[in-house]
Amino acid sequence: MFGTYPALANLPTAAKIDPKDVPSPTPVTLPQSRPQLHAPSAPAGQAKPLTSVLQNVYRPGDVTSTIFEALGIHLIPDAPPADLIPDTAYLPDFEGWDKLSPDEAREKNAETRKVLNNGVQSPGCQTYLDRKRELSHCNEDAFRTVRRIPAPKGQQQARLGNSYEFFRCLEAFTTYWDDSSKPIKPIEETKEDKPVVDADKSERDNPQTPNHYRVTRTSAGSAMPGEYRQSLLTAFLKLVAYDFGCNVSAPRTEPRLHITASPAPARSQPSTPQAGLPVPRTSYFASGCTFIFRTPRTRDAARQGVVEGPLAAVSARASTSFENENDQAIDLARELVAALVTAQHRAREGKTEKRFGEGAWWTTKPRWGGGSGGPIGREVERDAVQGDKDNTDAETGQPASKRPRKNMSIYDNYRMVRPPSASWDRKTRYEAIGKVKGAGYDDVYVISSLFHHVSVLRVRVPERLLEVLEGAGEDDVHRSWGQVEVRRSPWYDFFVLEQRLEAMKLVWSLMTWLMRKEETPAEKPEEDVKMADA
């Protein structure tokens, strides 16, 4: 039952605790890192190559503004939805939809549905109003439904519908975070109150009691497990992604940003033909992001777990302290790594994987002494030919194994000389869904989450930058790709009703743009030619 959200199988409830023993709340201070590009590109020969700058980062403390300058990051904060979506013609008319009654929405629903790139129709205004109604419940009413507490006398129980998992995950946040939609009572006043014995039990016994201070937060926000935030963000995105034929899932292979240094110029050709050029240095940055994938329409492929995309990256981070600029720069770097990883995955469309170390000497030639190999130690006795079991003269010894070993032993597997495991997922059909054809760049979206907030970033990744990361030379031109423009939406608080509705509208617009069907120039119908003097 809790396969999708294992961390939420045993949600904490209001505990027996004195209000004065509740730890101080974790301050919510969102990062404000805003790298800007004001100066023009540096002259040739005065800057280190980008791959050299990135490969010198070994720990988070090495992240500085120099990396953002080398990448050419230009961040624009608080961007409205019209600036995040490249073509405003794909923005739904939310203002007009909000004014529709249920009957009017049912009549106009077919008109507002468009054909998507997977062959199905997009959700219309009726589905939008359903999602809006499900997210518009008051937090306290929704938490009553999650906790299975009866509604006060004269009120109806909140029907959460598809938003049940979202409010279930949000209710788990109340153990570590205060509900920001309510005014917080000062701690000095709470000390004068009587300690809470069992808040859930008292509320069940007397549901029509007036609003009183209810102790639900028993821990600090910095102590919350990271799985809670990931589950909340996933449940929120699935409210919209499912209707567009997409899903949020973790990749089967670790997301890695692969960086290959450009080959060094040949100083002098070696006299021996066996000697080759030095192999360029290859490294990677790991990312803990997940992705929004498109679900295939065929039933067999969907059952096998095949996914298409990715469409966007989902990055939920557990950092809660952004007091200094270094912490803010590290958080921005993690968002950029998620964007570049997604761009590399989307650029794999139509390509085949070249495994790291394929054809290199250290993946083909045996070493470690150059001996003949073979069994050693107890392997010799185990592999020795045993006599006939019916022969009475056979020497007594250990009986032969009943079943032959199907897989290699751990030591044999270790001794094999071969390239590392593949980094491409065999069940992922890599495709740049939603990319503007022939634009020379890819608009990569990152849904970022910190504390109990969410924000959307649009990172415009040039194709030239991906080529440089794959080992292409920069030709002595500093930042030959120009710049990497990053536009960030405002931070939306999940606890505040109005803000989570705005976040839902933004995700809806994002999915409408990415899942749009490309318009192909159709053949124009032949028109009658007017003859002269007819």
Which residues pair with residue 248 across a beta bridge? 292
> Does the pLDDT of residue 159 top 90, yes or no?
yes
Q: What is the pLDDT of residue 514?
A: 98
Q: What is the pLDDT of residue 376?
A: 67
Residue 440 has a CB neighbour count (10 Å cut-off) of 10
Q: Per the domain annotation, does 398 fall within a domain?
A: no
Q: Kindly state the tokens that stand for 212.
A: 């009183």
Mean pLDDT of 302-306: 94
Q: What is the pLDDT of residue 521?
A: 58
Position 410 confidence tier, pLDDT thresholds 50, 70, 90: confident
Cβ atoms of 150 and 204 closer than 8 Å:
yes
Q: Per the domain annotation, does 13 fall within a domain?
A: no
Amino acid in the structure at residue 404: P
| pLDDT higher at 215 or 80 | 80
> Does the pLDDT of residue 526 top 60, yes or no?
no
> Does the pLDDT of residue 194 top 70, yes or no?
no
- CA dist 523 and 500 (Å) reads 44
Is the pTM of the predicted complex or chain greater than 0.85?
A: no
Which residues pair with residue 520 across a beta bridge? none
pLDDT in tens, 176-185: 999 998 876 6
Q: Exposed/middle/buried for 190, CB within 10 Å: 0-12, 13-18, 19+? A: middle
> Does the pLDDT of residue 148 top 90, yes or no?
yes
Q: Per the domain annotation, does 363 fall within a domain?
A: no
Q: What is the pLDDT of residue 265?
A: 61
Q: What is the pLDDT of residue 405?
A: 67
Helix/strand/coil for 524: coil
Q: What is the pLDDT of residue 41?
A: 52
Mean pLDDT of 42-53: 73
Amino acid in the structure at residue 155: Q
Q: DSSP class of residue 86?
A: S
Q: Per the domain annotation, does 118 fall within a domain?
A: yes
pLDDT in tens, 107-141: 999 999 999 999 999 999 999 999 999 999 999 99
Count of structural domains, the chain = 1
Peptide bond into 310 cis (omega under 30): yes
> Does the pLDDT of residue 276 top 60, yes or no?
no
Q: Where are the alpha helices (DSSP H) in 32-163?
A: 50-55, 65-71, 81-84, 94-98, 102-108, 125-135, 139-147
Q: Per the domain annotation, does 491 fall within a domain?
A: yes
pLDDT in tens, 205-225: 555 444 443 547 899 999 999
Least confident of 234-238, 258-262, 308-312, 432-436: 258-262
Q: Per the domain annotation, does 524 fall within a domain?
A: no
pLDDT in tens, 463-482: 999 999 999 888 777 889 99
Q: Per the domain annotation, does 358 fall within a domain?
A: no
Residue 90 has a CB neighbour count (10 Å cut-off) of 15
Q: C-alpha 234: how far from its chain's center?
A: 9
Position 279 confidence tier, pLDDT thresholds 50, 70, 90: confident
Q: C-alpha 40: how far from its chain's center?
A: 33
Mean pLDDT of 21-38: 91
Cβ atoms of 139 and 181 closer than 8 Å:
yes
Q: What is the pLDDT of residue 182?
A: 84
Q: C-alpha 137: how far from its chain's center?
A: 27
Q: What is the pLDDT of residue 275?
A: 46
Which residues pair with residue 121 across a beta bridge? 115
Residue 178 has a CB neighbour count (10 Å cut-off) of 20
Q: Per the domain annotation, does 223 fall within a domain?
A: yes
Cβ atoms of 260 and 469 closer than 8 Å:
yes
Position 97 confidence tier, pLDDT thresholds 50, 70, 90: very high
> Does the pLDDT of residue 270 top 70, yes or no?
no
Cβ atoms of 124 and 110 closer than 8 Å:
yes
Q: Exposed/middle/buried for 523, CB within 10 Å: 0-12, 13-18, 19+? A: exposed
Contacts 24+ apart (CB under 8 A), 56-59: 57/285
| pLDDT higher at 42 or 510 | 510
Question: Given 3-state DSSP classes, what are the helix, strand and coil percentages for the chain, each rounded to the nearest 5?
Answer: 35, 15, 55
Q: Which domain holds residue 82?
A: 19-37+48-182+212-262+280-350+427-515
Residues near 187 by beta carbon (within 8 Å), at least 6 away in sequence:
19, 20
pLDDT in tens, 322-371: 989 999 999 999 999 999 999 999 999 999 998 887 777 778 877 666 56
| Angle, alpha carbons 291-60-328 (nearest 5°) | 75
Q: Which residue has the tokens 């001794």?
A: 415
Q: Which helix (H) or strand (E) holds 292?
A: strand 290-294
Q: Which residue has the tokens 């009553």?
A: 144
Helix/strand/coil for 426: coil
Mean pLDDT of the chain: 84
